[in-house]
């Protein structure tokens, strides 16, 4: 029984840390251009922006939208109670 409780506490802690990290750092470098924002095939004669990140050099992490939607929903609920 103590082993299951320990696993549950570790699991909840891991989920909590993941949610906090997604809230604080929602973006990651683009995997295609490696964060440069330029087309991986670019050279001095031919260049352009990365098609995947549209030149931003970063992509939103999986789950970050969900975490931020939850934050906005809680803020709206708090605002509507007044």
How confident is the model over 38-77, as pLDDT tens digits?
A: 887 777 666 788 888 888 889 999 999 998 888 778 777 7
Element (H, E) at 59: strand 58-60
Q: Is the pLDDT of residue 7 over 90?
A: yes
Does the predicted model carry a pTM greater than 0.85? no
Q: Secondary structure of the chain: what % helix, strand, coil (to 5)?
A: 50, 10, 40
Total count of residues recorded for the chain? 82
Cα distance between residue 53 and residue 21, in whole Å: 21
Instruction: Determine which helix (DSSP H) or strand (DSSP E) holds 27, and give its type and residue range.
Output: strand 27-29
């Amino acid at each position: 029984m103590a082993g299951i409780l320990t696993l549950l506490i570790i699991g909840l802690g891991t989920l909590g840390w993941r949610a906090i990290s997604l809230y604080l750092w929602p973006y990651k470098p683009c995997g295609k251009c490696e964060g440069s924002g330029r087309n991986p095939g670019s050279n001095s004669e031919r260049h352009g922006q990365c098609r995947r990140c549209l030149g931003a050099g970063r992509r939103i992490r999986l789950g970050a939208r969900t975490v931020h939607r939850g934050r906005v929903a809680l803020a709206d609920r708090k605002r509507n109670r007044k």
